[in-house]
Amino acid sequence: MAAPRAVVVLSGKRKSGKDFVANLLQERLGCQVCAIMRLSAPLKGQYAKEHNLDFDRLLDASDYKEHYRVDMIRWGEERRNQDPSFFCRLATEVKEADHLVWVISDARRLTDLDYFRKHYRQTIAVRIQADDTVRAERGFVFTPGVDDAESECGLDTVKDWDFCLNNNNQQQLEEQFTLLLNTIQLNLS
């Protein structure tokens, strides 16, 4: 398997638009070039297997997932404490890994960001931000034990993002997104 030409690592709070930006990148670059890879997918897969749960329902934005979120976070932290790059490695060992561009749609910890920066020279770190009022309009409700945990706050202190995208409105996002897209396309040249 050849190394990707660009690895775009997305980070941001819940309901900031990480999945929206990931899907937009894939739409603009094309499914043949760009693969979306989620760190949460192998975590949820293993958690579902060990707890006899519906994996597909843990992947969507349902109440089912929210019911298990706190315990999944606790369980995932235990796994990460044993091996900080466990979920990063699992996420990149999938069939989509043969694409030229990887979009990691849900980096949440310094160990996630460090893993990709260490292993992939063309890593582009992107922080997606949205005002709390905008996030609330998208369904965000602060949940103690979730929104104040490392899984939501682990990258809050990072200052060296390659791009910060403000996702409060389409026009603002589009201007910044175009710069990101141009940078990715330079890596493909």
First-to-last alpha carbon distance for the chain, in angstroms, is 19
15 annotated ligand binder: yes
Residue 169 counted as an annotated binding residue = no
Cβ contacts of 123 within 8 Å, gap of 6 or more: 6, 7, 8, 9, 116, 117
Question: Is 121 known as a binding-site position?
Answer: no
16 is known to lie in a ligand binding site: yes
Query: Can you read off the two tokens belonging to residue 159?
Result: 């200052």
Residue 13, marked binder: yes
Does 176 show up as a binding residue in the annotation?
yes
Q: Does 19 count as an annotated binding residue?
A: yes
95 is in an annotated binding site: no
CA dihedral 74, 78, 84, 89 (to 10 degrees): -80
Measured between alpha carbons, how far is 147 from 156 in angstroms, rounded to an integer?
Answer: 12
Q: Does 138 count as an annotated binding residue?
A: yes
Q: Annotation-wise, does 54 bind a ligand? A: no
Q: Are 13 and 135 in contact (CB under 8 A)?
A: yes
Binding-site residues for substrate, in ranges, read 167
> Binding site for ATP: residue ranges?
13-19, 138, 176
Q: Return binding residues.
A: 13-19, 138, 167, 176
